[in-house]
Structure 1
């Protein structure tokens, strides 16, 4: 006996396959966009940011000025008595841009990224033209990881995840951490200028 397939069932079957495929595409998009949607924008009405701007959060003296290169607020921090002028990446736009497209940076300058809460952090070097030390710092000032990263010259740039959770990331010219005597486990003594 020959089995005859109903054309309506075949169409339903095709539509089911299309719906399932669309469902998986939407699910994939959801999980791709979720991290950026969950990223907390550090805004002026954020109490952590307000405290940071007023008190320096015990880490950096804010209100030092504005960087002529990026327009970001600058501050001064001291690492083992060496003053470092840092641009403050306080919001998601500044954090996403970071030190991209810079052809050079003076030796005792850097960028400090302030995140709203302690978390596992990961940075990459896409469109970053200068080699960097990426220093991951816990909320209490303890250095939890230091990574030396080279500029990425391909479309597939590796990421550099921290080995432990942190709340701050300091980017300096490559080799500066070693020159300053900075190592994992150090508690950076933050001083006012």
Structure 2
């Protein structure tokens, strides 16, 4: 299934070893280094399409409540991943916070039709009093990448 999300407009070294995950598709086998703590997450390739071309990203997928609650907490490096994709069953307006998240992240929100809702840069927070970052409106998908990964926002996001 392909979902196109149209858009107009997530460090210290880990002391734990990286986990290697092998993903097999009908045409190829890919080995990806997965950071400690994300071993149980589905790994998926998505394509960000810009006006002048596309860029493929490997992301951990957070599509269940426990995964969405964990997010990139305590992850000190993304190893072979480019970010995390949050998928919700329906529109939500919930905010994200950076409690125990040490990487500065950019969060991009998309609604159920794939239209861009908003984006925000989020700063690491290791205290109990972390701010929440809310979207400009309801969203169904959110993509976290490390700040500076994207020079500009994608025109659309294509999911397999």
Give the alignment's TM-score, normalised by structure 2: 0.72
Find out whether 1:77 has 2:46 as its counterpart: yes
Cα drift, residue 56 of structure 1: 4.5
Distance 1:187 1:168 in 2: 15
Find out whether 1:68 has 2:41 as its counterpart: no
Note if contact 1:63-1:73 (Cα within 8 Å) is conserved in structure 2.
Answer: no
Residue 100 of structure 1: aligned partner? 73
Q: Secondary structure at the match of 1:105?
A: coil
Please give the root-mean-square deviation of Cα atoms over the aligned residues, in Å: 2.6
CA distance 1:57–1:79, shift in 2 (3 Å): closer
Distance 2:144 2:24 in 1: 19
Find out whether 1:153 has 2:121 as its counterpart: no
Unaligned regions of 5+ residues in structure 2, if any? 6-22
More strand by share: 2
Distance 1:106 1:78 in 2: 19
Find out whether 1:162 has 2:135 as its counterpart: yes
Distance 2:82 2:46 in 1: 10
Find out whether 1:114 has 2:87 as its counterpart: yes
Question: How many corresponding residue pairs?
Answer: 131
CA distance 1:149–1:105, shift in 2 (3 Å): same
CA distance 1:56–1:121, shift in 2 (3 Å): farther
**Which of structures 1 and 2 has the larger relative contact order (alpha carbons within 8 angstroms, sep 6+)?**
2
Is the radius of gyration larger for structure 1 or structure 2? 1
Cα drift, residue 68 of structure 1: 3.4
Distance 1:74 1:166 in 2: 22
Give the alignment's TM-score, normalised by structure 1: 0.60
